[in-house]
DNA sequence: TTGTAAGCGTTATCAG
DNA sequence: CTGATAACGCTTACAA
């Protein structure tokens, strides 16, 4: 456990000189540099990051706050984050699956003094409000946040555009009566996908029938259970758009058990293009989201924010989605695997100073403010 | 950005008292405690973790070193790690996908002064040697290491036992001539699974025929390509054990294209029980490894090491595997979904002080010792 | 029970 | 180009 003092003594120089060598300062004689390097090797000296960060206030560390770590989606986000971070010699500090916003806040607190920027995924309204409170401790980039929060940098999936493209495809291939298996409306992705569904219908001059929207909970079992309600619709829809692949898969298996042919009797489509989507039978038409790109984009934005600390403008970036046509929608153009790609957009949003981030007076006082345990 | 001094001033006490309140010292008057708490809330004070760890040398942070973040396996390991870590109020610092051992070493260096223990996955021989060098900077727990390194705490998959159980099952259901699609022999999992395969044959009195072992690279395409070599074997094997599910899946699709019925003409089994294994057709018989449990076990061990800093003995723990029988092996007992579970074992191994960890003299000198960029 | 002061291991500002 | 030395924000003897 050699420290900088040990190295200085060994090299016969002052600690300042050792520090300069370590930090590649040009103001060091070759002779001194040589001796410091030799001493550092001899003692196998590793600088102490905590001491260094304490003084420089730089950490080369990105804090990542996720609701959960489950499933391929999250693992791909993390991989994207890690990949992009490493290119800039940053490491990542992950904290996930917090039972409530107090636990979440405690996790963020523990990051104080260690991270340069926080990347927070807050798909629900409640978690958004929690993240809001962390403001001003370090910069924040939101990952796929609930709603369209102004005053924050964010990176999100183009849910609405993806859903619109998918449903438009269904309409173009002849479907008029299209049901939607929606996700929970407290979830941002779910509500945006529902909007996209409505957009497509409106664009085609079809009046969205509220009876055709059935609310599920994003899980496979939910899709399975709700098949009954889909079949009870009168007249029966010719296609169902599930807000994610898991529900679509549950729906397909329920339909198979009921001996209703997919796609001949009812076409089915999902969203996400999970690993399994291409393996089930029939292979699922869906919208590919690229969680890896999402992670990378978030880090790219975080790095930009870090390097421009006095630029207070905020940006919202949308990561494009891709329509993936497979057999479950029953269209004839199966050769065209990827039909449409939504454009990558980048739009400036309002400056954070123009609007109070947390309007509730004294909101920061509701929980102990420095408490850790 | 209030510091402890601001809180002290606001509360009209010394910084020592503030520190005592924060750290729940009992030696504080109720009155002082009250005022400090009020001041902390008012100023929204968050302690600086770097400053704190610099002094206490505790960080509540686990360093995680992984070769890759790809796939469900790694994501489940991380989830297990995160879950168990959070129970103890630890966060995790992840670094993965290092192109070479220099990059790996740099990543570990950056953790100096920030983590309490390193959990390192080093499935290849080269990465093991790198990890070896980090010793004495902080305690290390190896995750599924190559070989059976003495002098290190480790948690591993019971590959050999799992493979043995699977192949024994194949033998019990009538197969005598069983080929193996092995993984790369530089990989610890691959070689252990091969050992298990040999064990089962020997136990049944079948002499292992080297010609029946075909070496692949763990990827799906490899299984697909090597189908040809399997079919060229004379006499043709009645069953093939692939060292992981991906190769098994590739093999199955090649066999389907060659119109060879699975399991009727050739039975196939894999290893890992990945997500897809149950979804392909026929559903794949395989060995379930529980990466989530692996992650949790590693953290549990790390926490134990941290809390007993002067206990230098080391432990090797094996996380059990489960035989999962599905249709692809063609046995009749499909009702018995999970047939056999290997026992969880825990064995003491030699003490680290008895054997030099890094025998190469001056090995630490081959790379710059404190260099970061 | 409280305060003073000495570090923890760095970086960075000065003089020299 | 180099060396003292004062921070950085906190914890913890030691004294009071």
Contact at CB, A46 and B109, closer than 8 angstroms = yes
Q: Name all protein residues with C-beta less than 7 A from any atom of nucleic acid chain C.
A: A 1, 3-5, 15-16, 19, 22-23, 45-48, 51-52, 54-56; B 13-17, 20, 26-29, 31-32, 51, 54-55, 113
Which H or E run contains B349?
Answer: strand B345-349
B60 contacts in A (CB within 8 Å)?
110
Contact at CB, B97 and A82, closer than 8 angstroms = yes
β-sheet with B338-341: strand ranges across = B286-288, B322-324, B338-341
Q: How far is CA B47 from CA A5, A24, B54, B55, in A?
A: 28, 31, 13, 13
**Which residues fall within 8 angstroms of residue A148, CB to CB, at 6 or more apart?**
A316, A349
Nearest residue (CA) to C1' of C6: B55
- The pLDDT value recorded for residue A332 is 67
Q: What is the Cα–Cα distance from B222 to B246, expressed in whole angstroms? A: 9
User: Is residue B371 pLDDT above 50, yes or no?
Assistant: no
Q: Specify the range with the lowest mean pLDDT, choosing from A169-178, A357-366, B7-16, B220-229.
A: A357-366
| Closest chain B residue by Cα to residue A96 | B82
- Of the spans A301-305, B141-145, B308-312, which averages the highest pLDDT? A301-305
Q: What is the Cα–Cα distance from B60 to B58, expressed in whole angstroms? A: 6
Residue B12 or A102, more confident? B12
Contact at CB, B91 and A96, closer than 8 angstroms = no
User: Is residue A372 pLDDT above 60, yes or no?
Assistant: no
Closest of B97, B137, B113 to residue B61, by C-alpha: B113
Name which of A41, A368, A370 is nearest B365 (Cβ-Cβ).
A41
Mean pLDDT for the stretch of residues A353-371: 27
Residues facing residue A338 across a β-bridge: A324
State the smallest CA–CA distance between residue A99 and chain B in angstroms: 11
Residue B174, phi-psi category: left (phi > 0), alpha (psi -120 to 50), beta (remainder): left
**Which residues fall within 8 angstroms of residue A229, CB to CB, at 6 or more apart?**
A214
Residue with tokens 């600088």: A47
Strand D lies under 7 A from the Cβ of residue B53: no
Q: What is the Cα–Cα distance from B241 to B263, expressed in whole angstroms? A: 12
Q: How far is CA B301 from CA B84, B244, B295, B314, B315, in A?
A: 11, 27, 10, 10, 9
Size of interface A-B (CB pairs under 8 A): 177
Joined together, the tokens standing for residue B187 give: 């990989």
| Closest chain A residue by Cα to residue B76 | A70
State the smallest CA–CA distance between residue A1 and chain B in angstroms: 7
Q: Where are the alpha helices (DSSP H) in A151-275?
A: 159-172, 188-203, 220-232, 245-257
Name which of A70, A113, A136 is nearest B50 (Cβ-Cβ).
A113
B94 contacts in A (CB within 8 Å)?
78, 82, 91-94
User: Is residue A165 pLDDT above 90, yes or no?
Assistant: yes
B8: nearest nucleotide, CA–C1' criterion: C3
- The pLDDT value recorded for residue A135 is 67
Mean pLDDT for the stretch of residues A151-157: 93
Mean pLDDT for the stretch of residues B47-52: 96
Strand D lies under 7 A from the Cβ of residue A203: no
A3-14 pLDDT, tens digit per residue, is: 999 999 999 999
How do B286-288 and B322-324 pair as beta strands?
A: antiparallel
State the smallest CA–CA distance between residue A243 and chain B in angstroms: 21
Mean pLDDT for the stretch of residues A76-89: 93
Closest of B242, B296, B244 to residue B274, by C-alpha: B244
Contact at CB, A82 and B70, closer than 8 angstroms = no
User: Is residue B291 pLDDT above 90, yes or no?
Assistant: yes
Mean pLDDT for the stretch of residues B272-295: 93
Q: What is the Cα–Cα distance from A190 to A244, expressed in whole angstroms? A: 9
- The pLDDT value recorded for residue B318 is 95
User: Is residue B336 pLDDT above 70, yes or no?
Assistant: no
- The pLDDT value recorded for residue B333 is 57
| Closest chain A residue by Cα to residue B110 | A49
User: Is residue A158 pLDDT above 80, yes or no?
Assistant: yes
State the smallest CA–CA distance between residue A322 and chain B in angstroms: 21
Contact at CB, A369 and B96, closer than 8 angstroms = no
Mean pLDDT for the stretch of residues A300-307: 96
User: Is residue B141 pLDDT above 60, yes or no?
Assistant: yes
Mean pLDDT for the stretch of residues A215-241: 96
- The pLDDT value recorded for residue B75 is 85
Mean model confidence pLDDT for chain B: 86
B237-281 pLDDT, tens digit per residue, is: 999 999 999 999 999 999 999 999 999 999 999 999 998 898 888
- The pLDDT value recorded for residue B26 is 93
Q: Specify the range with the lowest mean pLDDT, choosing from A62-76, A120-134, A194-208, B107-121.
A: A120-134
Which SS3 state, helix, strand or coil, does residue B286 take?
A: strand
Mean pLDDT for the stretch of residues A327-337: 69
Residue A56 or B348, more confident? A56
Q: What is the Cα–Cα distance from A118 to A122, expressed in whole angstroms? A: 12
- The pLDDT value recorded for residue B235 is 93
Contact at CB, A93 and B61, closer than 8 angstroms = yes
Percent of chain A at pLDDT exceeding 70: 88
Name which of A54, A70, A93 is nearest B93 (Cβ-Cβ).
A93
Mean pLDDT for the stretch of residues A306-323: 94
Half-sphere exposure of A332 (CA within 13 A, CB side): 3
Contact at CB, B53 and A50, closer than 8 angstroms = yes
State the smallest CA–CA distance between residue A372 and chain B in angstroms: 8
Q: How far is the CA of A40 from the C1' of D2 (A)?
A: 19
Name which of A71, A79, A113 is nearest B69 (Cβ-Cβ).
A79
A45 contacts in B (CB within 8 Å)?
369-370
B275 contacts in A (CB within 8 Å)?
72, 275-276
Percent of chain B at pLDDT exceeding 70: 88
Name which of B70, B112, B364 is nearest A48 (Cβ-Cβ).
B112
Q: Specify the range with the lowest mean pLDDT, choosing from A145-159, A276-290, A351-365, B180-194.
A: A351-365
User: Is residue B163 pLDDT above 50, yes or no?
Assistant: yes
A36: nearest nucleotide, CA–C1' criterion: D2
- The pLDDT value recorded for residue B289 is 95
Residue B153 — very low, low, confident or very high, per pLDDT cuts 50/70/90?
very high
- The pLDDT value recorded for residue B186 is 87
CA A190, A195, A201, A206 torsion-angle sign: positive
Q: How far is the CA of B15 from the C1' of D4 (A)?
A: 28
User: Is residue B60 pLDDT above 80, yes or no?
Assistant: yes
Closest of A117, A359, A368 to residue B44, by C-alpha: A368
Q: How far is CA B112 from CA A63, A312, B65, B304, in A?
A: 18, 33, 13, 20
A19: nearest nucleotide, CA–C1' criterion: C11
State the smallest CA–CA distance between residue B215 and chain A in angstroms: 26
pTM recorded for the entire structure: 0.84
How do B140-143 and B178-182 pair as beta strands?
A: unpaired
User: Is residue A351 pLDDT above 80, yes or no?
Assistant: no
Give the best residue of B64, B91, B278, B284 to mutate against chain A (max A CB count within 10 A): B91
What nucleotides of chain D have any atom within 7 angstroms of a protein Cβ?
Answer: 1-5, 7-13
CA B19, B22, B28, B34 torsion-angle sign: positive
Residue A359 — very low, low, confident or very high, per pLDDT cuts 50/70/90?
very low
Q: How far is the CA of A99 from the C1' of D12 (A)?
A: 34
State the smallest CA–CA distance between residue A205 and chain B in angstroms: 39
B12-21 pLDDT, tens digit per residue, is: 999 999 999 9
Mean pLDDT for the stretch of residues B356-372: 27
Contact at CB, A95 and B91, closer than 8 angstroms = yes
Strand D lies under 7 A from the Cβ of residue A373: no
- The pLDDT value recorded for residue B187 is 87
DSSP assignment string, B95-155: EE--SSHHHHHHHHHTTTTT-SEEEEE--BHHHHHHHHHTTTTS-EEEES-SS--TTSEEE
Q: How far is the CA of B15 from the C1' of C5 (A)?
A: 12
């Amino acid at each position: 456990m050699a420290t900088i003092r040990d190295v200085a003594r060994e090299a016969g120089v002052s600690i300042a000189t050792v520090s300069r060598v370590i930090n590649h300062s040009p103001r060091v004689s070759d002779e001194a540099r040589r001796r410091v390097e030799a001493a550092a090797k001899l003692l196998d000296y590793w600088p102490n990051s905590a001491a260094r960060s304490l003084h420089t206030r730089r950490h080369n560390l990105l804090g990542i706050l996720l609701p959960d770590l489950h499933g391929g989606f999250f693992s791909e986000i993390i991989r994207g984050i890690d990949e992009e971070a490493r290119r800039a010699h940053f490491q990542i500090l992950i904290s996930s699956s917090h039972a409530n916003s107090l636990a979440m806040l405690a996790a963020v607190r523990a990051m104080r003094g260690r991270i340069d920027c926080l990347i927070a995924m807050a798909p629900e309204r409640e978690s958004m409000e929690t993240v809001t409170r962390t403001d001003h401790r370090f910069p924040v980039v939101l990952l796929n946040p609930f709603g369209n929060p102004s005053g924050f940098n964010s990176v999100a999936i183009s849910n609405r555009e993806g859903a619109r493209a998918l449903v438009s495809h269904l309409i173009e291939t002849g479907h008029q009566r299209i049901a939607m298996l929606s996700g929970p409306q407290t979830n941002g992705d779910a509500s945006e996908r529902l909007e996209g569904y409505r957009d497509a219908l409106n664009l085609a001059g079809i009046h969205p029938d509220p009876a055709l929207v059935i609310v599920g909970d994003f899980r496979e079992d939910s899709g399975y259970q709700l098949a009954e309600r889909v079949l009870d619709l009168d007249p029966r829809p010719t296609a169902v758009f599930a807000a994610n692949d898991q529900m679509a898969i549950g729906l397909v298996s329920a339909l198979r058990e009921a001996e209703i042919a997919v796609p001949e009797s009812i076409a089915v489509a999902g969203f996400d293009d999970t690993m399994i989507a291409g393996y089930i039978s029939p292979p699922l038409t869906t919208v590919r989201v690229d969680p890896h790109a999402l992670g990378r984009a978030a880090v790219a934005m975080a790095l930009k924010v870090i390097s421009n600390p006095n630029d207070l403008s905020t940006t919202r970036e949308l990561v494009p989605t891709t329509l993936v046509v497979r057999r479950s929608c029953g269209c004839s153009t199966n050769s065209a695997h990827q039909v449409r790609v939504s454009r990558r957009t980048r739009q400036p949003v309002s400056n954070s100073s123009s609007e109070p981030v947390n309007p509730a007076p004294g909101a920061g006082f509701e929980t102990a403010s420095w408490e850790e345990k």
